[in-house]
C-alpha cells in the first residue's frame, strides 16, 4: 500500500509580508498546494515572502525546484525572500545539492 503524501500549508500576510508555513511532505503530489499558497490574493502590496519549513519532514526534487521558482518569482517582483527554520533533513538536502549557496536560507548552527 502506497501512503499518500500530505502537506499542511498556512499563510499569513501582515504589513506587506507573507509568511507561509509548511508541515509534512513536499513532493510531486503536494508541491502545487504550496505554490498556490504563495500566489494568494494581495500580491500588489507584497514586499516579501518568508517560507517557514520548520515542520517539513520530507522534500524531493520537485520541492527543491519550487524553492528556486519562488526565489526567481520574488526577484522578478522585487520582493524579499527567505527560507527559515530548516529541519536537519531539509538542511541536508540543500547542502548535498549545493543549493544552500543559491537560496536565501538561514542554515543556522546545525546539529553539534
Q: 20-50, pLDDT tens digit by residue?
A: 999 999 999 999 999 999 886 656 678 899 9
Bridge partners of 20, per DSSP, are: 11, 51
**Residue 13 · residue 42 · CB < 8 Å:** yes
Q: Which residues are within 8 A (CB) of 9 and not within 5 positions of it... i.e. 6 or more apart? A: 20, 21, 22, 33, 34, 37
Q: Tell me if 1 is assigned to some domain.
A: no
Q: Write out residues in the chain with pLDDT < 50, as ranges.
A: 1, 109-112
Residue 112 lies in a domain: no
> What distance in Å separates the CA atoms of residue 108 and residue 12, rounded to the nearest whole number?
23
Specify the number of domains making up the chain.
Answer: 1
Domain-embedded: residue 111: no
pLDDT at 40: 66
Q: Domain holding 14: CATH number?
A: 3.30.750.24
Amino acid at each position: 500500500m502506497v501512503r499518500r503524501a500530505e502537506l499542511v500549508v498556512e499563510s499569513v500576510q501582515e504589513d506587506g509580508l507573507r509568511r507561509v508555513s509548511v508541515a509534512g511532505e513536499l513532493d510531486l503530489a503536494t508541491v502545487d498546494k504550496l505554490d498556490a499558497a504563495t500566489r494568494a490574493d494581495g500580491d500588489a502590496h507584497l514586499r516579501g515572502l518568508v517560507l517557514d519549513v520548520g515542520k517539513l519532514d520530507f522534500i524531493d526534487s520537485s520541492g527543491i525546484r519550487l524553492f528556486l521558482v519562488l526565489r526567481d518569482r520574488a526577484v522578478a517582483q522585487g520582493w524579499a525572500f527567505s527560507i527559515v527554520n530548516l529541519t536537519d533533513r531539509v538542511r541536508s538536502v540543500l547542502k548535498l545539492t549545493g543549493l544552500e549557496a543559491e537560496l536565501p536560507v538561514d542554515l543556522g548552527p546545525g546539529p553539534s
